Amino acid sequence: MAKTFRVFWLLAALLLVPVLRAAPETPATDGGVLLLDIKGGIGPATRDYVRAGLKRAREANARAVVLRIDTPGGLDAATRDINQDLLASEIPVIGWVAPSGARAASAGTYVLYACHLAAMASATSLGAATPVSMGGPGLGQEPEQRGPEQREPRQKDEPARESGEPSSAPAQRHEPRSAMERKAVNDAVAYLRSLAELRGRNAEFAEAAVRDAATLTASQARERQVVEIVADDLDSLLRQAQGRKVRLARGELALDVAGQPVTRVVPDWRARLLAVLTEPTVAYLLLLIGLYGLVFEGYSPGAILPGMVGVICLLLAAYGLQVLPVNYAGVALIVIGVVLIALEFAMPSLGAAGIGGVVSLLAGSLILFDTDVPGFGVPGALIAGVGVASALGFMAMIWLAARARRRPVVTGIEELVGQVAVATRDFHGRGRVRIRGEEWQADSASPVRRGQRVRVHALHGLVLEVVPEGGATAAE
Higher pLDDT, 54 or 169: 54
Nearest Cα neighbor of 414 from 459, 371, 374 is: 459
- Quick check: 39 and 70 in contact, CB under 8 A? yes
Q: Compute the Cα dihedral for 396, 398, 401, 406 and give only its sign.
A: negative
Tally of domains within the chain: 3
β strands within 137-284, DSSP E: 215-217, 229-230, 245-248, 251-254, 262-264
* pLDDT for the residue numbered 208: 93
Examine residue 242 and state whether it is found in any structural domain, yes or no: yes
For residues 309 and 254, membership in a common domain is answered with no
For residues 232 and 297, membership in a common domain is answered with no
In sequence order, which ranges of 107-258 are alpha helices (DSSP H)? 107-114, 179-199, 203-211, 218-223, 234-241
For residues 168 and 220, membership in a common domain is answered with yes
Question: Which residue, 406, 430, 455, sits at the end of a domain?
Answer: 406
What tens digit of pLDDT does each residue of 186-215 get?
999 999 999 999 999 999 999 999 999 899
Examine residue 260 and state whether it is found in any structural domain, yes or no: yes
Helical (H) or strand (E) element with 427: strand 427-435
Residue 99: DSSP 8-state:
S
Around 440, how many Cα atoms within 13 Å sit in the side-chain half-sphere? Answer: 27
Examine residue 152 and state whether it is found in any structural domain, yes or no: no
Give residue 454's domain range: 413-473
- pLDDT band at residue 80, thresholds of 50, 70 and 90? very high
d(CA 361, CA 336) in angstroms, rounded, equals 7
Task: Work out the average pLDDT over 28-38.
Answer: 79
For residues 260 and 297, membership in a common domain is answered with no
For residues 387 and 421, membership in a common domain is answered with no
Examine residue 60 and state whether it is found in any structural domain, yes or no: yes
Instruction: Give the whole-number percent of the chain exceeding pLDDT 90.
Output: 36
For residues 263 and 330, membership in a common domain is answered with no
Query: How far, CA to CA in Å, does 174 sit from each of 160, 162, 217?
Result: 15, 14, 21
Examine residue 303 and state whether it is found in any structural domain, yes or no: yes
For residues 265 and 307, membership in a common domain is answered with no
For residues 236 and 336, membership in a common domain is answered with no
Any idea what the CATH number is for the domain that residue 40 is in? 3.90.226.10
d(CA 82, CA 76) in angstroms, rounded, equals 10
Any idea what the CATH number is for the domain that residue 465 is in? 2.40.50.140
Question: Which residue, 270, 298, 332, sits at the end of a domain?
Answer: 270
What tens digit of pLDDT does each residue of 205-256 get?
999 999 998 999 999 999 999 999 999 999 999 999 999 999 888 888 999 9
d(CA 112, CA 227) in angstroms, rounded, equals 9
Question: Which residue, 225, 246, 270, sits at the end of a domain?
Answer: 270
Can the peptide bond before residue 137 be classed as cis, meaning omega within 30 degrees of 0?
A: no
For residues 205 and 166, membership in a common domain is answered with yes
* pLDDT for the residue numbered 227: 95
* pLDDT for the residue numbered 173: 56
Burial of 85 (0-12, 13-18, 19+ CB in 10 A): middle
* pLDDT for the residue numbered 276: 83
Instruction: Say yes or no to pLDDT of 66 above 70.
Output: yes
* pLDDT for the residue numbered 132: 67
Examine residue 7 and state whether it is found in any structural domain, yes or no: no
Task: Work out the average pLDDT over 425-441.
Answer: 89
For residues 448 and 382, membership in a common domain is answered with no
For residues 260 and 354, membership in a common domain is answered with no
What tens digit of pLDDT does each residue of 392-426 get?
876 776 676 666 656 555 555 667 788 889 999 89
